[in-house]
Amino acid sequence: MNPSLSSMAIEPPQASAAPAVSQNLELRQVSKFYGRQRVLHDIDLSVKQGEFIAIMGPSGCGKTTLLRVVAGLEGIAAGSVVLQGEDITQRPVHHRNTPMVWQSFALFPHLNVQQNIAFGLTLVPHRKAEVRQKVKTMASLMHLDELLNRRISQLSGGQKQRVAIARALITEPPILLLDEPMSALDPHLRVRMQGELKRLQQSLGISFFYVTHNQNEAFSMADRVVVMNQGRIEQIGTPAEIYNQPATHFVAEFVGNNNLFDGQVVTVNGTTVTVKCPQGIMQSISEVPHAPSDQVTVVVPADRIELTTQPSSGQNTIQAILRGREFLGSQVIYLLETATGHEVRVIRQESLSDSLGTPINADLYLSWRTQDTVLLENGGPNGR
């Protein structure tokens, strides 16, 4: 695929005329049950016009169900789905114009590439010349010009993905729904396609509603990320906000490589909170009022911790034993264990040969800046 969609001479298809609304999609108090099991709990979510939203969470958290609700493939028990100012809650799938790109691409094997792309236009009457022109435009946009007469079985994974996206976009929808569309791709192609998909979305100016369990995908493409757990939204924010300021224990554990230390507030001095943890005395910054004896959790990102052979001055220093290391190319993950048995992960930008200078079972000191921590309320049992 050409590395820059923006360099193409062809103009992308224009979105259909719609009422001027700031919110393209609104989910209002949406609830969903499978039998007696509640799988979506009062979901409130707004997607702005032209915004790339990534829905992230573990398997079974409800993210794909939420996508299917927007598409009209699932009914809801309560709430409403509003698209461009119109309530489409009761509208059938074929009257919504909310196409979905599936994890398996779901292309028609008996049709060639051209026929697959044109399929959405066959659902309502179109002149043949108009269909040919729209297919030609979309094929050029997705770099499929030379593949129009090929059968689906003759395509690579990346080519199939582009056909699936072209088929979804041919009807000029106000929003595109994507259900883990890169999970079937090889890792190197997945990274390449992330940039292409983001550039495509920006050039078209339509909203993308993208479901993934892959943190790297969500953070590299999305304007905002929605983290879900057990049918509820845990946090909504920019990738930087989600990564640097997790709002709940689940987000802190699910996103990034955070270390969590449960403890009890000892003193409060302005926004600086001193916490007594089984691993040592720690300080954190918090805008939320706290009082002595409050149970809290100190969150420390793995890439903000320094490793030394001697203790440093300050509160945020604990001792641990190096138990193992993982080499990730430009990074090394150190796995350490405190005297309480608490595992700590430290990420450093260095080569494997540099890391080998520290032997396994070495006694080390871990330290970090107070401003690099996040304080969460209602910590779990001490000595986590």
- Tell whether 78 and 178 lie within a shared domain: yes
**Residue 7 predicted with pLDDT over 70:** no
- Tell whether 64 and 204 lie within a shared domain: yes
The model carries a pTM of: 0.85
Query: Residue 272: which residues within 8 A CB-CB, separation 6 or more?
Result: 283, 284, 285, 370
The pLDDT value given to residue 248: 95
CATH of the domain at 195: 3.40.50.300
Q: What whole-number distance in Å separates Cα of residue 356 and Cα of residue 358?
A: 5
CA angle 293, 295, 301 (to 5 degrees): 130
Which of 68, 66, 75 is CA-nearest to residue 40? 66
- Tell whether 236 and 296 lie within a shared domain: no
CA angle 355, 361, 365 (to 5 degrees): 70
Mean pLDDT over 32-52 rounds to 96
- Tell whether 81 and 179 lie within a shared domain: yes
Mean pLDDT over 331-341 rounds to 95
- Tell whether 23 and 56 lie within a shared domain: yes
- Tell whether 287 and 179 lie within a shared domain: no
**Residue 224 predicted with pLDDT over 90:** yes
Question: In the structure encoding, which two tokens stand for residue 154, read together?
Answer: 């003759």
- SS3 for 119-176 is HHHHHCCCCHHHHHHHHHHHHHHCCCHHHCCCEHHHCCHHHHHHHHHHHHHCCCCCEE
- Tell whether 289 and 335 lie within a shared domain: yes
Q: What is the pLDDT of residues 257-280, one digit of tens each?
A: 999 999 999 999 999 999 999 999
Q: Which residue has the tokens 């992308």?
A: 12
In total, how many domains does the chain have?
Answer: 2
Which of 139, 118, 116 is CA-nearest to residue 129? 118
Instruction: Count Cα neighbours of 82 within 13 Å in the Cβ-side half-sphere.
Output: 21
* pLDDT confidence tier of residue 362, bands split at 50, 70 and 90: very high
Mean pLDDT over 187-207 rounds to 88
The pLDDT value given to residue 9: 32
**Residue 27 predicted with pLDDT over 90:** yes
- Tell whether 202 and 287 lie within a shared domain: no
- Tell whether 198 and 301 lie within a shared domain: no
Question: In the structure encoding, which two tokens stand for residue 58, read together?
Answer: 């573990």
**Within 10 A of 120 (CB to CB), how many other CB atoms are there?**
20
- Tell whether 12 and 69 lie within a shared domain: yes
Q: Is residue 32 part of a domain?
A: yes
Where do the H-state alpha helices sit in 149-283? 157-169, 187-204, 215-221, 239-244, 249-254
Q: What whole-number distance in Å separates Cα of residue 226 and Cα of residue 236?
A: 5
**Residue 6 predicted with pLDDT over 60:** no
For residue 310, give its domain range. Answer: 258-377
The pLDDT value given to residue 2: 37
- Tell whether 233 and 266 lie within a shared domain: no
Q: Is residue 132 part of a domain?
A: no
The pLDDT value given to residue 117: 94
- Tell whether 85 and 177 lie within a shared domain: yes
Which of 28, 21, 22, 39 is CA-nearest to residue 81? 28
The pLDDT value given to residue 18: 42
